[in-house]
Amino acid sequence: MACFREFGEAVRAARESMGWTRVQASLKINDLCQKRESIVSPDALEKWENGRVLPKIEPVKAMAHVYGKPELIDLRVQCIEFLKRSDRRDCHDSICG
């Protein structure tokens, strides 16, 4: 989906601008995640960056803080709104990962 790709490109650009590997970024993001079910692995980060999956809100908030990019939250919200408008229930399984 285009919105997933746009979100992923923004996440990748933010991480790369910090000069971090996915492992380094996932460790920093996990430090800020409040919920244990929101543990971010390097593999999950790769899926998000490649636009295959849209993350839950908790890791997005942590990424926005770690990367200093609050617009990541808005991008995720826009993707969810797009999915709701398009009523694409077949995409629901791809929303959270």
User: CB–CB of 50/8 below 8 Å?
Assistant: yes
Rounded Cα distance between 10 and 68, Å, is 12
Q: Residues of the chain whose pLDDT is less than 50?
A: 90-97
Rounded Cα distance between 49 and 5, Å, is 8
Residue 72: CA count within 13 A, CB half-sphere: 27
The pLDDT mean for the chain works out to: 87
Read off the pLDDT of residues 31-52 as tens digits, 9 standing for 90 and up: 887 666 668 999 999 999 999 9
Report the domain count for the chain: 1
Q: What confidence score (pLDDT) does residue 62 get?
A: 93
Which domain covers residue 20, as residue numbers?
A: 2-95
CA dihedral defined by 45, 48, 51, 52, rounded to 10 degrees? 90
Q: Is the pTM of this model over 0.75?
A: yes
| CATH code, 18 | 1.10.260.40
